[in-house]
Amino acid sequence: MMADLHFAVIGAGGLGCPALLGLVAGGARSISVVDPDRVEASNLHRQVLYDLGDVGAPKAEAAAMRLRARGVSAHAIVARVEPADVAAFLAELPAGAIIVECSDHVALKFAVNDALMASRRRGVIGSALGWRGHAIALAPGGACYRCVFETPPPPELVPTCAQAGVLGPAVGAIGWLQAQLACALGHDATAEHVGRLYEIDALGARARTLGGRRRGDCPTCGFRKDPDARPSGARQLVS
Ligand SMILES: [Zn+2]
Domain containing residue 19: CATH number: 3.40.50.720
Answer yes or no: is 29 within a domain: yes
Label residues 143-162 b or e (16+ Cβ within 10 Å = b).
bbbbbbbbebeeeeebeebe
Answer yes or no: is 196 within a domain: no
User: Which residue numbers in the chain have pLDDT < 70?
Assistant: 156-164, 225-234, 236-239
Q: How far is the CA of 197 from the centre of ligand 1 (A)?
A: 12
pLDDT at site 146? 95
Answer yes or no: is 155 within a domain: no
Answer yes or no: is 200 within a domain: no
Q: How far is the CA of 211 from the centre of ligand 1 (A)?
A: 10
The number of distinct structural domains making up the chain is 1
The parent domain of residue 83 ranges over: 2-138+166-190
Active-site option among 17, 147, 161, 218:
161
SS3 state of residue 54: helix
**pTM of the predicted model as reported, rounded to 2 decimal places:** 0.92
Going by DSSP bridges, is the β-strand pair 7-10/132-138 parallel, antiparallel, or unpaired? Answer: unpaired
Answer yes or no: is 199 within a domain: no
Answer yes or no: is 211 within a domain: no
pLDDT at site 71? 97
Answer yes or no: is 81 within a domain: yes
Instruction: Tell me, yes or no, if 218 is annotated catalytic.
Output: no
pLDDT at site 223? 82
Q: How far is the CA of 210 from the centre of ligand 1 (A)?
A: 13
CA-to-CA distance for 93 and 11, rounded, in angstroms?
A: 16
pLDDT at site 233? 63
Q: How far is the CA of 145 from the centre of ligand 1 (A)?
A: 6
* Best CA proximity match to 33, nearest among 2, 67, 73, 76: 76
pLDDT at site 110? 96
For 41-99, how does the pLDDT look when each residue is reduced to its tens digit (9 = 90+)?
999 989 999 999 999 999 999 999 999 999 999 999 999 999 999 999 999 999 999 99
Q: How far is the CA of 212 from the centre of ligand 1 (A)?
A: 10
Which DSSP state fits 233? S
Answer yes or no: is 118 within a domain: yes
Tally of CB atoms within 10 A around 188:
11
